[in-house]
């Protein structure tokens, strides 16, 4: 660690934790004593699937004042990967103490900090990691081609294969097929095949919710896929526990599949109960960025490191309805209350004046707009999507702009989408 960082007081220290996976990247900036300063969310970041340039753009959006930085990304699997990630981090945060690794490590740190236990990740991919003292055992996490059983990508691929085999057998586009086509804004199975031939891992994994929805409707094959995924993750857990000689381990479930689909966690516990009946299973809902921060802050006083793992990260701020009701956008413009009394010339003058006020407002918000464009640009560069969400005229303009982008720029229809409050009938 550089002398600059060592001489910095605890109050001035800033710990940045970054946890990137196949769906999103979360970050949290903490003070030296572990207090939350700010946090946020960026596009997905898999080291194997994301270029250096895209990662540099993403890192440039993150706070630059950190003295301790922990960046843990999916796909960071070996020493060469860690060296590459470290170089990128040192470029962005020169002089900071850097810790790098895989999201597997940050996920475990989020769940357990320094404690022993077994962390089971089921998100875009899947992995099981256990620790007892200095011993660490792993299972799964071999990537989408050779492993990741029970993860979102694996479940989605099973669904895609099922709809195509069903069509080959009886030439029928069933309910599961229709759900997938709707999710991708496609019209026919031929379009689905073309999409799948170029879709990346993260895009495919985003179809996983279709599997859970189909299972709830009674689709036998998708319910079987869920059982199969939960069963193999339970088997991995049992194997790791056996190697660590843990008869009653604490097991923490992390990742979007467990957090957003509680029925998956219930199936997992059902299968694990047959292998490790004494295991204590809970779902970890904390941001992986906190585990990344904890790993970066391990040389700081215990209070700071503990706070990094325990302080909840506010990755988004939700406004209450009363707060929204008093927002400027929801108020009447006092300058237009007498439209029916104005002459044509006065109306034109009013419109011109309002346009100038809009220009001034946009100029005042320039930095926020640049940050938003940076996020959107990084998202699209990483194969993500841009959504316009709105109501009334604003929502309709968003839908209009989204519909014009494919014919104008030759982009696929799912890249930019408009979501209108009230649905299609409100258009």
**CATH number of the domain encompassing residue 47:** 3.30.420.40
Helices (H), 115-151: none
Residues of the domain holding 405: 321-426
Q: Tell me whether residue 299 is in a domain.
A: yes
- 207 and 183 in contact (C-beta within 8 Å)? yes
Q: Under DSSP, is residue 85 helix (H, G, I), strand (E, B) or coil?
A: helix
How many domains are there within the chain?
Answer: 2
Last-in-domain residue among 275, 310, 345: 310
Say yes or no: 300 and 347 in one domain. no
Say yes or no: 78 and 23 in one domain. yes
- The torsion region of residue 351 among left (phi > 0), alpha (psi -120 to 50) and beta comes to alpha
What is the structure's pLDDT at 320?
Answer: 42
Say yes or no: 298 and 383 in one domain. no
Say yes or no: 76 and 34 in one domain. yes
Task: Report the alpha-carbon distance of residue 98 to residue 91 in Å, rounded.
Answer: 11
What is the structure's pLDDT at 248?
Answer: 92
pTM exceeding 0.85: no
Q: Tell me whether residue 254 is in a domain.
A: no
Last-in-domain residue among 245, 277, 310: 310
Q: Tell me whether residue 381 is in a domain.
A: yes
Q: Tell me whether residue 192 is in a domain.
A: no
What is the structure's pLDDT at 207?
Answer: 87
What is the structure's pLDDT at 227?
Answer: 93
Write out the chain's pLDDT in tens, 427 residues: 444 444 445 448 899 999 998 778 999 999 887 888 998 888 888 898 889 999 999 999 899 989 999 999 988 989 999 999 999 999 999 989 999 999 889 999 999 988 999 999 998 888 899 999 999 999 987 766 666 788 989 999 999 988 888 888 887 878 888 888 888 888 778 888 888 888 877 788 888 998 999 999 989 889 999 999 999 999 999 999 999 999 999 999 988 899 899 999 999 999 999 999 999 999 998 889 999 999 998 865 543 444 444 444 333 333 344 444 555 666 677 777 788 888 898 888 888 888 888 888 888 888 888 888 988 888 888 888 899 898 888 888 888 888 888 888 888 888 899 888 876 556 6
Q: Tell me whether residue 389 is in a domain.
A: yes
Q: Tell me whether residue 158 is in a domain.
A: no
Say yes or no: 372 and 291 in one domain. no
223 alpha-carbon distance from chain centroid: 25
């Amino acid at each position: 660690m550089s002398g600059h960082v060592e001489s910095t007081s605890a109050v001035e220290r800033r710990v940045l934790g970054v946890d990137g996976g196949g769906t999103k990247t979360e970050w949290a900036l903490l003070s030296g004593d572990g207090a939350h300063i700010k946090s946020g969310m960026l596009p997905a970041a898999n080291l194997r699937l994301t270029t250096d340039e895209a990662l540099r753009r993403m890192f440039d959006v993150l706070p630059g004042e950190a003295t301790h930085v922990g960046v843990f990304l999916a796909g960071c699997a070996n020493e060469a990967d860690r060296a590459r990630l470290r170089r990128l981090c040192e470029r962005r945060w020169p002089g900071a103490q850097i810790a790098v690794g895989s999201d597997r490590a940050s996920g475990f740190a989020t769940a357990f900090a320094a404690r022993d236990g077994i962390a089971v990740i089921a998100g875009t991919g899947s992995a099981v990691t256990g620790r007892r003292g200095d011993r660490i055992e792993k299972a799964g996490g071999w990537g989408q081609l050779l492993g990741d059983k029970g993860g979102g990508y694996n479940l989605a691929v099973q669904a895609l294969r099922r709809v195509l085999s069903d069509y080959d057998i009886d030439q029928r586009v069933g309910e599961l097929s229709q759900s997938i086509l709707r999710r991708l804004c496609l019209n026919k199975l031929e379009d689905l095949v073309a999409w799948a031939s170029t879709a990346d891992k993260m895009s495919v994994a985003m179809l996983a919710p279709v599997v859970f929805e189909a299972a709830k409707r009674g689709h036998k094959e998708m319910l079987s896929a869920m059982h199969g995924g939960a069963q193999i993750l339970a088997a991995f857990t049992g194997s790791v526990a056996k190697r660590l000689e843990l008869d009653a381990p604490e097991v923490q479930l992390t990742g979007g599949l467990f957090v957003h689909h509680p029925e998956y966690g219930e199936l997992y516990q059902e299968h694990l109960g047959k292998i490790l009946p004494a295991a204590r299973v809970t779902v970890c809902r904390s941001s992986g960025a906190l585990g990344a921060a904890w790993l970066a802050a391990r040389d700081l006083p215990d209070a700071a490191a503990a706070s990094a793992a325990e302080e909840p990260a506010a990755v988004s701020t939700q406004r209450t309805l009363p707060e929204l009701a008093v927002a400027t956008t929801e108020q009447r413009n006092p300058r237009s209350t007498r439209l029916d009394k104005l002459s044509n010339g006065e109306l034109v003058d009013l419109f011109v004046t309002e346009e100038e006020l809009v220009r001034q407002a946009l100029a005042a918000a320039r930095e926020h707009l640049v940050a938003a464009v940076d996020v959107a640009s990084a998202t699209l560069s990483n194969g993500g999507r841009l959504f316009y969400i709105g109501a009334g005229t604003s929502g309709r303009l968003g839908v209009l702009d989204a519909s014009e982008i494919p014919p104008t720029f030759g982009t696929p229809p799912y890249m930019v989408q408009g979501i209108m409050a009230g649905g299609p009938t409100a258009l």
